[in-house]
Structure 1
Amino acid sequence: MKLLLSSCLFIASLYVTSVFSKDALEEPVSKHGQLAVNGVNLVNQYGEKVQLKGMGLFWSIWMPYFYNKTTVDGIKNYCHSNIVRPMVAVDTISGGYLTDPDYEDALVDAVIDAAIEDDIYVLVDWQDFEAENHLEASLTFFDRISKKYGGYPNIIYEPYNEPITLEWSSLVKPYHEAVIKTIRANDPDNLIVLGTPNYSTRLDMAVADPVLNQTNIMYSLHFYAGTQKEANRQIAKNAIDAGLPVFVTEYGTVNADASPPVDAAEAELWYSFMDEYNLSYVNFAISDKDEGAAALIPGTTPENVCQEAYLTESGKLVVAHNKA
């Protein structure tokens, strides 16, 4: 009886692993096609649960040298990713979309084109903390992107990276509704992931007042393992239990200010949680900056992106889970 029970438990564990966590390199767009939201789950064109795992780039304004196909190739093949996240800098002291939209458009288009060619998904992030103050620019940007790329199943939209404000119902939600309307005029199907208050940590606010009468909408959760811990997982669990579809569009293995050390123990708790609930997740960041959150050692070039010898402690942990 004990032998039979042990065998059953082993088989069950294999089944859970096969359903909820796979090597993302083996899960491309050509396999899963058009994504959709079914209840709290992200599903593929066949209605099967799918999990995206991959890498986010650094802010476009500061690391444009990674906004190219060589980098995307490395992210897919060596970081074992089926998704890449370009971060369109909007308004910084160094410039951004508000200063030079043509330059930012060219950077993000290069990444999108590379992702399509490489058969992976691409999460187009409007990297802003006060996007409600830049609505017209956002509408212009997402109108162009959805017109040009809305026919590709690779595309996922993230219209608001990390709202600082806690005013969900009066500020953030109306902003999202305006951008959704613009995107849906050109692209009725592709996934849109909505940022939540307090740097995309307050899913509970969206639970209390969700966007209504829309399909293929998810809500963004961000965490950094050294800072956001069990209390944040409980907020996420409560939101999922309440029926809110969640997508981890940004996470780090270190502190929220990107500083070391890597909190491997807490990161493992997050990975277990995300895999249990079939959450997709994108790491911050493909960066060679000398900081804890960087996946690459200083001086890494696009040709060496995600190769083992160029990964930091954080990068190695992340890749191991992209492959799991």
Structure 2
Amino acid sequence: MKLSHRPRRIRVILAALAATALIAVSMPAVASADEDEAPAELPALHVDGNWITNADGEEVTLQGVSVLAPEQNDLCTYCDSRPTSELIELAAEWGSGVVRLPVTEIGATTDLAAYDAEYIAPYVEQAVELGVYLIIDLHLVRDYGDAAGGVPRSTVSRFWDYVAPIYGGVDNVIFEVFNEPINPANWDTWKDYIQPVVDSIREDAPDTLILMGSPQWSTMLNGALTNPIEDDNTAYVFHIYPNQGSPTTALLDSKFGNAANQLAVVITEFGWNPPGEFSDSITAGTTTSWGVPFREYLDAHPSIGWQAWILDNFWKPQMFDYDWNLLGGEYQGQFIKDWLAGEPNGSPCSSHDAVGASVQVSSQYSTAYGGENLTDGDCTNAGRWLSATGDTAPTATVSLDAAQYVSSVGIYSGYTGGSGVVLVDFTVDVHTTAGWQQVAAITGNTSSAREVAVGIADVDGVRLTVSNPSASTTEVKIARVYELAIHD
């Protein structure tokens, strides 16, 4: 097809009336529905080559978030859980065009009618009312097949044989058939297992978009290039987190990008948070080193849809702290919200609440590397503060123009190309009317971007005190800090 004849391309990132207004710009005007009429469903979605398109022939990039499985919502005793309906509404307010709804407690004897009535049906109805797509995600993380510990096909078929007749005619609904099959780690074996499930779904839901995972926690979609699912409305899923490596173009091409040149691909799980209580060994990463380059890649590949994991404060990597403050800075929450809103891509090192704030430092290596560089938004080598040789406790104090809530502080240190020159041991204190209080004592740091959770109101000052500025045995022993980034 010639480029000049391509269908119109839209981004499904707006909710409710905003989404309707976007499409109406390029479509004939239609009469408005009366207030007492049922809300109109969204256009059905279809796979067309490596794109998902709607019934009007428009190419669609499904962008949104996952919410916590409703049946898991009250398990966290310290999270002050919020209703699933409230989180779905928040997702729509952020601009999510699609919300992924995990379904976790499904087995061979589950009362599916009762489960549907409590954990699925209300949210399908809400999605229709809000004008967003809803992914019913059979959120199994298990081996598959008849071996010990595996999920037999009959369990998966039983669920979809119940769900497909009910929701197969609802255009807002998408089916994700099996979240993360693990072993056997073989695509052909997986296809033999799941193809009959797809065939059975098609008997009752001939037109519903299907999202297809793969073995090894949905990381083997490349197998579909040579042996695809026998279905013309299936898109392929990939899940990726920082433990899989730095999101370079070469890595992402090999994981799913090359396949996306031929297949419709949706990243139904990704996310990160800095090392600490809001991440683990799989999800530990930063916005600067992982989120920014990952978004840059997806922005350049608009046929690939995505749903960020997870709009909650319980399962990792969370977007909120336990008091429901949005996690910003090197945490993913604010970044995902801004992405959905169409804000420019960028590191929180260069855009934060303390840009331009006054700074006092204990020493400086030279006038070119003074304390003012800590709040200049310049995260290049020239924009650093360097402490003086012989300063055994380099200290920097940022004074804010007005007291404010501080969710986190980002400490960016080292220099490009340097080895072992990031800050190793340091403390972070904040100042309020009650005086100074320590919020973090970091030891053994190896990250050039280290985010410290704060969660304190009425802060008017932040202090960094360094006790070990570098692990290097060859470089001069001084503090090298790009920025002290303060985020509300």
TM-score band by shorter chain is: 0.7 to 0.9
Deviation of 1:102 (Å)? 5.0
Deviation of 1:103 (Å)? 5.2
Residue in 1 aligned with 2:256? 236
Deviation of 1:248 (Å)? 1.0
Contact 1:68 1:114 in 2 (8 A): no
Q: 1:84 to 1:22 in 2, by over 3 A?
A: closer
Point out where structure 2 has 5 or more consecutive residues left out of the alignment.
1-7, 24-41, 75-80, 146-150, 274-278, 343-488
**Structure with bigger RCO (C-alpha 8 Å, 6+ apart):** 1
Choose which of 269, 280, 283 in structure 2 pairs with 1:250. 269
Task: Tell me, in whole angstroms, the C-alpha distance in 1 between the residues paired with 2:58 and 2:89.
Answer: 27
Secondary structure of the 1:27 match is helix
Residue in 1 aligned with 2:186? 167
Secondary structure of the 1:50 match is strand
Choose which of 185, 199, 204 in structure 2 pairs with 1:186. 204
Residue in 1 aligned with 2:48? 38
Task: Tell me, in whole angstroms, the C-alpha distance in 1 between the residues paired with 2:63 and 2:153.
Answer: 29
Residue in 2 aligned with 1:7? none
Deviation of 1:173 (Å)? 0.9
TM-score, normalised by the number of residues in structure 2:
0.54
Choose which of 257, 267, 289 in structure 2 pairs with 1:265. 289
Deviation of 1:226 (Å)? 5.2
Secondary structure of the 2:152 match is helix
Deviation of 1:27 (Å)? 3.4
42-51 vs 255-264, greater mean Cα deviation: 255-264
Decide which structure has greater helix share.
1
Q: 1:177 to 1:137 in 2, by over 3 A?
A: same
Secondary structure of the 1:51 match is strand
Say whether residues 1:126 and 2:138 are aligned partners: yes
Choose which of 309, 332, 336 in structure 2 pairs with 1:284. 309
Residue in 2 aligned with 1:216? 233
2:123 alignment partner AA:
V
CA offsets 1:126-178 (integer angstroms, 9 cap, x no match): 111334423222222212222111111111100111121212212x2123212
Decide which structure has greater strand share.
2
1:282 alignment partner AA:
Q
Q: 1:182 to 1:28 in 2, by over 3 A?
A: farther
Residue in 2 aligned with 1:24? 14
2:99 alignment partner AA:
V
Secondary structure of the 2:56 match is coil
2:312 alignment partner AA:
S
Secondary structure of the 2:238 match is strand
Secondary structure of the 2:239 match is strand
Determine which structure has more spread, i.e. the larger CA radius of gyration: 2
Residue in 2 aligned with 1:110? 122
2:45 alignment partner AA:
L
Task: Tell me, in whole angstroms, the C-alpha distance in 1 between the residues paired with 2:137 and 2:203.
Answer: 19
Contact 2:67 2:87 in 1 (8 A): no
Q: 1:156 to 1:111 in 2, by over 3 A?
A: same
Task: Tell me, in whole angstroms, the C-alpha distance in 2 between the residues paired with 1:29 and 1:256.
Answer: 41
CA offsets 1:188-220 (integer angstroms, 9 cap, x no match): 1110011012111122222121112x2111110
Task: Tell me, in whole angstroms, the C-alpha distance in 1 between the residues paired with 2:59 and 2:219.
Answer: 24
48-57 vs 219-228, greater mean Cα deviation: 219-228
Task: Tell me, in whole angstroms, the C-alpha distance in 2 between the residues paired with 1:41 and 1:256.
Answer: 33
Contact 1:63 1:287 in 2 (8 A): no
Residue in 1 aligned with 2:59? 49
Percent of aligned pairs with the same amino acid: 22
Residue in 1 aligned with 2:407? none
Task: Tell me, in whole angstroms, the C-alpha distance in 2 between the residues paired with 1:29 and 1:137.
Answer: 42
Q: 1:290 to 1:126 in 2, by over 3 A?
A: closer
Q: 1:290 to 1:140 in 2, by over 3 A?
A: closer
TM-score, normalised by the number of residues in structure 1:
0.79
Deviation of 1:19 (Å)? 4.9
Point out where structure 1 has 5 or more consecutive residues left out of the alignment.
1-17, 301-308
Secondary structure of the 1:139 match is helix
Say whether residues 1:69 and 2:66 are aligned partners: no
Task: Tell me, in whole angstroms, the C-alpha distance in 1 between the residues paired with 2:115 and 2:83.
Answer: 10
Task: Tell me, in whole angstroms, the C-alpha distance in 1 between the residues paired with 2:73 and 2:235.
Answer: 28
Contact 2:311 2:318 in 1 (8 A): yes
Q: How many pairs align?
A: 290
Secondary structure of the 1:24 match is coil
Task: Tell me, in whole angstroms, the C-alpha distance in 2 between the residues paired with 1:56 and 1:125.
Answer: 10
CA offsets 1:10-49 (integer angstroms, 9 cap, x no match): xxxxxxxx95757433436995611111100011111111
Task: Tell me, in whole angstroms, the C-alpha distance in 2 between the residues paired with 1:287 and 1:270.
Answer: 21
Q: 1:104 to 1:148 in 2, by over 3 A?
A: same
Choose which of 130, 133, 156 in structure 2 pairs with 1:138. 156
2:120 alignment partner AA:
V
Task: Tell me, in whole angstroms, the C-alpha distance in 2 between the residues paired with 1:107 and 1:71.
Answer: 14
